[in-house]
Amino acid sequence: MDFNLSPLNKMVIKTAKAFCETEIPGIDAYMKEHKDYPPYLQEIFAKHKMLGMDVPKEYGGIGADNFNLILIAEEVGKTGSTCMLPFFMNNSVAETICHWGTEEVIKKFVPPLCDGTAWASMAFTEPNTGSDPRSLTLTAEPDGDDFILNGTKRFISMANKPGFGVFFTKDLSMKGKPFDTTAFIVDKMSPGITFSGHYELMGLDGADTCDVFFKDVRVPKANILGKQGKGFPILLRWIAGERVQQCAATVGGGQAALEESIKYGNERVVGGFPMGYMQGFSWMLAEMKTRVEACRLLCYKTVKLQDEKKKGFEAASSELKVLTVPLIQEVCRQAVQFHGSYGYSKEYKVEKLFRNAMHVGVVASSLEINKTIAGMTILTQK
């Protein structure tokens, strides 16, 4: 499998680096002051051709592939900026709607996600479940040409931003049938929808993550995504792609932690010599680099499977997470240790990178769920 970067790939990286240098300082300054995303953030992404990456051009997309998307994800991940989350979400939800939606649904909901005028969300998690569709309590009850939704979703990113979300429900009209999870595209500003305040998170500073409360929310039947009662496969496919994007950004965070440590190791003088040349510290750098490189290569391999639509991509994305979570978290821990007491200070970037790295083990399906997916696939494959 060839991982050599094409001229297009190199141009994408160059563009992403320019975006990170020119736009992210202002974005992060806004987020630090307001503890929220700038209201115009998605339009900034759109201006830089970063939305609709793998959406056909006729629906307002770029018509690129997922490999180019993760190249951008890695560059954004290096900055430690939380703005990577809405970038992921608009791209992944637009692609998901393109894959499962009717022509009418695609034309209605995808272009606003590509031009940045709408914010996307994906909503499965509830107070009592994060992975089991049988435990869903957000109900959808048929009423004429509509469904009435009641219940609560938890930890939903960008939920209170104007735009559309894919919400997974227990479809009461399918009661007694083997599958009763139906996915609806919901206008998040619909009457009857309210939100909690933001959750205060360990990392991902300024992330807009909250609960969503549905009280007799009316959603047209035409907004069903995919087939009624068969919403869970939509979630599984979406989250497999989300894992790859998340891991790519995490690799970027690990690369940044390594680079910060190299810089510190050359600048900090101990006993008349740069600290990094002491054997213990040089060994740490060697370990950090090999861990980052291993995760990057598996990430590239996995996204190639996604772009080539190869069977087994979903399990491969779980294997990627099984590797990436502990290795990059350890890289970021080593970076903090490399900096000594300074690494525990918010004045140094490695502190933020470490906190951000911790989210990858519990968000977009936990590490343990992914071990189960990968392990069961190994046992059952023929």
What distance in Å separates the CA atoms of residue 300 and residue 322, rounded to the nearest whole number? 15
What's this model's pTM, rounded to 2 decimal places? Answer: 0.94
Predicted confidence at residue 1, as pLDDT, reads: 58
CA dihedral sign of residues 346, 200, 92, 135: positive
Report DSSP state, residue 230.
Answer: B
Tens of pLDDT along 40-73?
A: 999 999 999 999 999 999 999 999 999 999 999 9
> Does 122-230 carry CATH code 3.40.50.720?
no
Averaged over 233-259, what is the pLDDT? 96
pLDDT in tens, 85-130: 999 999 999 999 999 999 999 999 999 999 999 999 999 999 998 8
212-237 mean pLDDT: 96
Contact 338/290 with Cβ under 8 angstroms? Answer: no
Residue-averaged pLDDT of the chain: 95
Average of pLDDT values for 348-357?
97
Residues of the chain with CATH 1.10.540.10: 7-117
Which residues of the chain are in CATH 1.20.140.10 domains? 233-380
Q: Give the CA distances from residue 323 to residues 131, 298, 368, in Å, rounded to whole numbers and listed in that order.
A: 21, 9, 12
Residues of CATH 2.40.110.10 domain(s) within the chain? 122-230
Nearest Cα to Cα of residue 81 among 244, 204, 259, 250: 204
**Average pLDDT of the residues in 131-152:** 94
**331 pLDDT higher than 80:** yes
Tokens of residue 224, six digits: 């069903």
What's the pLDDT at 131?
84
Report the C-alpha gap between 111 and 61 in whole angstroms. 7
Contact yes or no for 94/86 (Cβ under 8 A): no
Asked whether residue 155 carries a pLDDT value surpassing 70, the answer given is yes
Residue with token string 């009592």: 128
* Tokens, residue 293: 């490189």
Write 124-132 long-range contacts (CB < 8 A, 24+).
124/153, 124/168, 124/235, 125/153, 125/154, 125/155, 125/156, 126/151, 126/152, 126/153, 126/154, 127/152, 127/154, 130/365, 130/366, 131/365, 131/366, 131/369
Tell me the sheet residues that pair with 119. Answer: 163
Indicate whether 177 pLDDT > 90: no
pLDDT recorded at residue 230: 94
Q: At what angle do helices 66-79 and 7-22 cross, to 10 degrees?
A: 30
As a whole number, mean pLDDT of residues 162-174 equals: 95
Residues 33-42: tens digit of each pLDDT: 999 999 999 9
Interatomic CA distance for residues 143 and 130, integer angstroms: 28
**pLDDT for the residue 2:** 62
Whether 3 shows a pLDDT value over 80: the answer reads: no
DSSP structure string for 4-39: PPPHHHHHHHHHHHHHHHHTHHHHHHHHHHHSS--T
Q: How far is CA 32 from CA 112, 207, 287, 358, in A?
A: 27, 10, 33, 20
Distance CA 322, CA 203 (A): 20
Checking if the pLDDT of 238 tops 80, the result is: yes
Residue 161 in tokens: 């931003």
Model confidence at 176: pLDDT above 80:
no
Band of residue 239 on the pLDDT scale cut at 50, 70, 90? very high
Question: What does the pLDDT read at residue 381?
Answer: 82
Mean pLDDT of 286-311: 95
Q: Tell me the backbone φ, ψ of residue 307, rounded to 5 degrees.
A: -70, -30
Which listed CATH number (3.40.140.10, 3.40.50.150, 3.90.1300.10, 1.20.140.10) goes with 233-380? Answer: 1.20.140.10
- Residue 278 per-residue DSSP state: S
- Please report the sign of the dihedral spanned by the C-alpha atoms of residue 245, residue 363, residue 161, residue 217: positive
Q: How far apart are CA 273 and CA 267, in angstroms?
A: 9
Task: Give the pLDDT band of residue 190 (cuts 50, 70, 90).
Answer: very high
Q: The domain 7-117: what is its CATH number? A: 1.10.540.10
Mean pLDDT of 133-137: 91
Closest residue by Cα to residue 66 from 257, 326, 317: 317
